[in-house]
């Protein structure tokens, strides 16, 4: 299952209107084949337009969307995903995630996961997964769906927030890790250790952070609106960090969490 999630994709968080159309179009032109969006981003229709206008075959693409918390109930999840598919102009997505744990457990996790599994059995999504889930929530999810049925947990993860407990548990259950905010809103790029490694490899700090995550086996979904950055980020796949580089980056952990929305965030590990 994990092999199906591409190591490198394009994130579209905070990108709207023509900006997201241009970002997705340029990325596809440069060779990106995985695109990550979400219902709450308010850009699925624009992402769908960019994909429809691209000569890239749908069969070559890996499209991810995420179900928003308002749509977690059994009666809302499927219709909301069908609306997402219409906006994205596709008959199915490749991966559908629960975007956040249900605030205040308003909708039981078992109900949401059952509806998501139903969407998968109907062919609306190839794979299903979770996002921003703690070890405890992953355990509950595995108990509900069974081991091997959760494709990924998409979490904030960077050299400054390495999230090892979550990663270790996910690995033990065959749950792939997708890293978002891998560059830490740019904070990671200013880290002297990252800069020194970049300089030695004649690479950019962004390439080092992304290569680090990919070499650890995570999928990454950096976003950019600039062609030069989209092109440069993709070159992280060619960068091979040494064991020493990885060991040095391992020391940069500082629990530097940047995404912690009130009312949504669970009690983090």
- Residue 92's Cβ-count burial label (10 Å; 0-12, 13-18, 19+) is middle
Does some domain include residue 9? yes
In sequence order, which ranges of the chain are alpha helices (DSSP H)?
17-30, 44-53, 74-88, 109-121, 135-145, 164-172, 192-201, 205-215, 227-234, 243-250
With a cut of 90, say whether residue 168 has pLDDT above it: yes
Across the range 111-126, mean pLDDT stands at: 98
Residues 218-250 pLDDT 10s: 999 999 999 999 999 999 999 999 999 999 999
Pairing status of strand 176-180 against strand 125-131: unpaired
Does some domain include residue 197? no
Query: Angle at the Cα of 185 (from 50 to 247), degrees rounded to 5?
Result: 115
Catalytic residue among 41, 169, 180, 218: 41
Residue 92's CATH number: 3.20.20.100
Number of domains the chain contains: 1
What is the Cα–Cα distance from 161 to 171, expressed in whole angstroms?
17
Does some domain include residue 81? yes
Does some domain include residue 191? no
With a cut of 50, say whether residue 2 has pLDDT above it: no
Given this model, what pLDDT does residue 4 score? 85
Which tokens sit at 220?
């990454």
Across the range 87-102, mean pLDDT stands at: 98
> Quick count: other Cβ atoms within 10 Å of Cβ 12?
25
With a cut of 90, say whether residue 3 has pLDDT above it: no
128: containing domain: 2-183+218-225
Binding residues for substrate are: 99
Confidence band, pLDDT 50/70/90 cuts, at residue 1 = very low
Across the range 95-108, mean pLDDT stands at: 97
Across the range 19-47, mean pLDDT stands at: 98
What is the Cα–Cα distance from 177 to 221, expressed in whole angstroms?
11
Does some domain include residue 13? yes
Does some domain include residue 106? yes
Question: Is the whole model's pTM more than 0.95, yes or no?
Answer: yes
What is the Cα–Cα distance from 245 to 196, expressed in whole angstroms?
10
Does some domain include residue 193? no
Given this model, what pLDDT does residue 71 score? 98
Does some domain include residue 242? no
Binding residues are: 99
What is the Cα–Cα distance from 176 to 253, expressed in whole angstroms?
21
With a cut of 50, say whether residue 153 has pLDDT above it: yes
Q: Please confirm, yes or no, whether 41 is among the known catalytic residues.
A: yes
């Amino acid at each position: 299952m994990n092999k199906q999630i591409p190591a490198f994709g394009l994130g579209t968080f905070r990108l709207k209107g023509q900006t997201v159309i241009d970002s997705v179009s340029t990325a596809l032109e440069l060779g990106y084949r995985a695109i990550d969006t979400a219902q709450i981003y308010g850009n699925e229709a624009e992402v769908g337009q960019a994909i429809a206008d691209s000569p890239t075959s749908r069969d070559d693409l890996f499209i991810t969307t995420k179900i928003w918390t308002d749509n977690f109930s059994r009666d809302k999840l499927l219709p909301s995903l069908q609306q997402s598919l219409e906006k994205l102009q596709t008959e199915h997505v490749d991966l559908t995630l629960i975007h956040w744990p249900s605030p205040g457990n308003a909708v039981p996790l078992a109900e949401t996961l059952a509806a998501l599994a139903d969407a998968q059995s109907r062919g609306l999504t190839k794979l299903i997964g979770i996002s921003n889930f703690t070890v405890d929530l992953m355990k509950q999810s595995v108990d509900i769906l069974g081991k091997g049925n959760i494709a990924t947990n998409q979490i904030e993860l960077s050299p400054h927030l390495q999230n090892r407990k979550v990663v270790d548990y996910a690995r033990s259950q065959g749950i792939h890790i997708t890293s978002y905010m891998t560059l830490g809103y740019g904070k990671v790029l200013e880290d002297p250790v990252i800069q020194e490694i970049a300089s030695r490899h004649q690479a950019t700090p962004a390439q080092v952070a992304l290569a680090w995550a990919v070499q650890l086996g995570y999928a990454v979904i950096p976003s950019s609106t600039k062609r030069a950055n989209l092109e440069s980020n993709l070159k992280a796949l060619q960068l091979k960090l040494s064991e020493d580089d990885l060991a040095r980056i391992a020391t940069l952990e500082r629990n530097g969490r940047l995404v912690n929305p009130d009312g949504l965030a669970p009690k983090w590990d």
